[in-house]
Every structure is written in structure tokens, then in C-alpha cells.
Amino acid sequence: MNIFITGGLGILGNSIIKQFSKKNKLIIYDRAKNHKRFLKVKNRNMKFVPGNLTNNKLILKTIRKYKINVIFHLGAQTQVLEALKNPYQTYLINLQSTIKLLEAVRKINNKIIFIYSSSDKAYGEVTKGSYLENYPLNSIYPYDVSKSTSDLIAQSYSKTYGLKVGIIRSANIYGPHDRNLKRIVPETIINLLNKKKIIIRSSGKLKRDYIFVDDVAKAYILTFSKLLKSQKKLLVYNVGSKYNLSVLQLVKKIASLLNIKKNYFKIANTSTKEIKNQRLNYVKIQKELNWKPKVNLDLGLKKTIIWYKKNISEFKI
């Protein structure tokens, strides 16, 4: 297979690339110039194409040139705080790239499988219980809306034009290779390793499911394989875990794994425009694809801490 991965240098891209068999040709598309710094996978069947998600011409040329069979669309403006500051740019990058890729599939070869990286944030606030795949997408804030709309657009292309589309609505991902220092796991680990206090922007009470990146990558690959083999045109799955923690509980967990006991956090309570509670029901993917998260929270966080310790020179603050 010839596989096109946008945003392939991010945390999720790194893990998906690692899990693909070397028989496949992987075309990695990302804006970074020095990809070797970000991607530590050795694979002679892999090609890196530097480019922006807004560069439609280059994307089309690449899909044609490498006779792509499947697209994993992971590239996006992924930062919630940046989206609050700059909604226009977030919508532009996240929506435009999704629409343009789907148009490319429709026009170049409608047999190309399209896998979209949606999010639990696409659902918006959960009032009780947990989100099921057939719940409405009711997001409010810019990053979240960019995920809901892209998710709906991808579904629309499948239902209207018969494209094969897989949508993964994943919980909060953590693990090695996350260079987004405003995400709670990297920010906490790096601050604590650098002997600095972690300033919690929210009330500390916001609740999320946390899932180790390799488990999410596995769900992506299983969804792709299922679409490849079956007649089904559209698959939508929640990918979550049983670890539903408040921000404060998570920070305390990381501190305890680092053996830090005192005076290591402050609650600023300045960030109010965020979903309060998120929880995914992931029974559907368990039943249909026999997927389940394998890495428990302690082990996943330990692996993550080891990676940041090894690479701490990159993250001096």
C-alpha cells in the first residue's frame, strides 16, 4: 500500500508510522524542515515531503505522484489555547485541509481510503454518562468546532459520494514525541524535571480520559484494515480508556511517579473556555474491531517520563 500521512511528525504520526509494516510505502507530509529531528523511525520505504497543509498544489501532486491508496489526515493546528487566540487560522488550516484532501480523493481516485483524526472534543460538553458515537456533535470552542465540522464533512463525503472514510474520536493522547508544551502531560513532566512549579491554567477540576499513544495508533490501523477488507463505507469509533482523571489528579500522579511531594503546583484558574467533563464510551470499537487499550496509566506515564528525561536538552526552560 502507498500511505499518505499528514502531520506525520507529531506524537500520533510517530506511533502510527512505527506500527506500519515496512512493506508499505509511507509518504510523510509535514511542515517541519528538519524531519530527522522529529521522526526517529528508520524505514527505507519512507519518503518525507515538507509542505504546509495550505499548499493544495503540492498535496495533489504528492497524492498523484505516489499513487496513494490511503490517507491518514492527522495534520492540524492542534493547540486549544492557540485556537482561542487565533480562531481564523485554526479554521483555515483544519477545515481547508480536510475539505481539500476529500476533494482530492473524490476527483483523483475515489477508492482511496480516508482516515480522519477527530476528537472527543467534537462532542462538546457531556452532561451525564459518556459519549456514544451516535451522539450529536455539539462543540462550542474553536479547536473543538474545527474537529466537529471536519468530522461531519468527512462523513458527508462518505454518505454523499460513497468514499471509504474512517473517523477516530480519540481521548487525550499522551506519550513520547509530544512537543506541544502547552499540553498538560508534557508541560507537567518538563516543568517538574526542570524543578519548576506547574501552573495549572484551569480550576484543576476539568476531567478527561487519558490514553497512551500506541493504543490510539493501533485503533487507527485496525480501522483502516477493516475498511480495506469490508464493504462498509463509513466507520466511526470512539477511542478512550478507563483513566478518567481531573487535571489535578493527573498532575499529582505524574509528581508521585517522579517522587516529588511538595510545593510543585499552583492553580491559576484563568482558563475558563474549556469543556468541563469528557468521557468516551468505547464499547463499539471493542466489539467490532476487538480493540482495547493495553497500556495502563502508570506504565504509559513512566514510558513518557523516560522519553522526556532522555530528550530533556530539547526542553530546557
Ligand X SMILES: NC(=O)c1ccc[n+]([C@@H]2O[C@H](COP(=O)([O-])OP(=O)(O)OC[C@H]3O[C@@H](n4cnc5c(N)ncnc54)[C@H](O)[C@@H]3O)[C@@H](O)[C@H]2O)c1
Using CB under 6 A as the criterion, which residues of the chain lie in contact with ligand X when the complex forms?
A: 7, 9-13, 30-32, 52-53, 74-78, 93, 117, 119, 170, 172-173, 178, 180
Q: Least distance (Å) from ligand X to the CB of residue 128? A: 22
Q: Are 170 and 291 in contact (CB under 8 A)?
A: no
Round to whole Å and give the CA distance between 195 and 202.
Answer: 21
**Distance, CA of 269 to chain centre:** 26
Nearer to ligand X, 210 or 264 (CB): 210
Round to whole Å and give the CA distance between 38 and 179.
Answer: 9
Nearer to ligand X, 83 or 163 (CB): 83
For 55-157, where are the E strands, in sequence order?
A: 70-73, 113-119
Nearer to ligand X, 117 or 191 (CB): 117
Nearer to ligand X, 16 or 192 (CB): 16
Give the nearest residue (CB) to ligand X: 10
Q: Least distance (Å) from ligand X to the CB of residue 158? A: 18
Radius of gyration for the chain, computed over Cα atoms and rounded to the nearest angstrom: 19
Nearer to ligand X, 29 or 264 (CB): 29
Nearer to ligand X, 146 or 158 (CB): 146
Edge-to-edge, what's the strand order for the sheet holding 172-174? 172-174, 207-212, 244-246
Q: Least distance (Å) from ligand X to the CB of residue 195? A: 26
Residue 180 DSSP SS3? coil
Q: Least distance (Å) from ligand X to the CB of residue 75? A: 4
Cβ atoms within 10 Å of 72's Cβ, excluding its own: 30
Q: Least distance (Å) from ligand X to the CB of residue 76? A: 4
Q: Least distance (Å) from ligand X to the CB of residue 266? A: 24
Beta-strand relationship, 113-119 and 70-73: parallel
What stretch of H or E contains 105?
A: helix 87-108
